[in-house]
Chains A and B, each alone.
Chain A
Amino acid sequence: DAKTTQPNSMESNEEEPVHLPCNHSTISGTDYIHWYRQLPSQGPEYVIHGLTSNVNNRMASLAIAEDRKSSTLILHRATLRDAAVYYCILKRYNFNKFYFGSGTKLNVKP
């Protein structure tokens, strides 16, 4: 089963960009890279996902390395509401298993 490696915690200042890294050296060709985040006392919520190309949505951007062995979730302007645990997950196409690791706890300072 393909696994991901993320730093345990990161800190950012409010209104600055945040780059959350994820390593997935054993990724296979049909694995999609998903990011979820979990705010305190809530269930995880979907942020973004991609396969090979960089992706943007209203919440964040996802930058995927050319060899797909790593990716970076980019929050363009961190707010206090972005303080959460961010999970990088590999999801195999047509295989409904999501492996959540321990994630990165993001602290945003005012």
Chain B
Amino acid sequence: EAQVTQNPRYLITVTGKKLTVTCSQNMNHEYMSWYRQDPGLGLRQIYYSMNVEVTDKGDVPEGYKVSRKEKRNFPLILESPSPNQTSLYFCASSFYNSPLHFGNGTRLTVT
């Protein structure tokens, strides 16, 4: 089944403890992207990747890192999480100029 898989679905952590949220897609998509969703603000793009080893900042990249070493994987890294990064995170992928396929989300709480 074609899908975008995010792990974990729920994560509670403390300020400053590095964490990684994984994203994997099995559709051979070139494009992958991370979004965060906060009440009243809709979805905002954090980072995106046009292909392996090609990444670029979205609208809210501060405090996040990404890497794209393989086509299927696009992990989101929070080196030193802070409470303002408590949010619902979505990974998405697509072929170039095609509709996005989203994962089911990761709910992160930073205390």
* Residue pair B50, A96 in contact (C-beta under 8 Å): yes
B103 contact set on A, CB distance < 8 A: 43
Prevailing SS type, chain A contact patch = loop
CA of A95 to CA of B104, assembled, Å:
24
* Residue pair B42, A100 in contact (C-beta under 8 Å): yes
Count of A-B contacts judged by CB separation below 8 Å: 48
CA of A93 to CA of B98, assembled, Å:
10
Q: How big is chain B's contact interface, by range?
A: 20 to 34
Prevailing SS type, chain B contact patch = strand
Min CB distance B46 to A, Å, is 12
A102 contact set on B, CB distance < 8 A: 40-42
A101 contact set on B, CB distance < 8 A: 42
Task: Give A46's nearest chain B residue, CB to CB.
Answer: B99
CA of A102 to CA of B41, assembled, Å:
6
* Residue pair A96, B48 in contact (C-beta under 8 Å): yes
B44 contact set on A, CB distance < 8 A: 100
Q: Which of B2-50 contact A (CB under 8 A)?
A: 4, 31, 33, 35, 40-45, 48, 50
Say which residue of A42, A94, A98, A103 sits within 8 Å of B100 (CB atoms): A98
**Residues of A in contact with B (beta carbons under 8 Å apart):** 34, 36, 41-46, 49, 87, 93-94, 96-98, 100-103
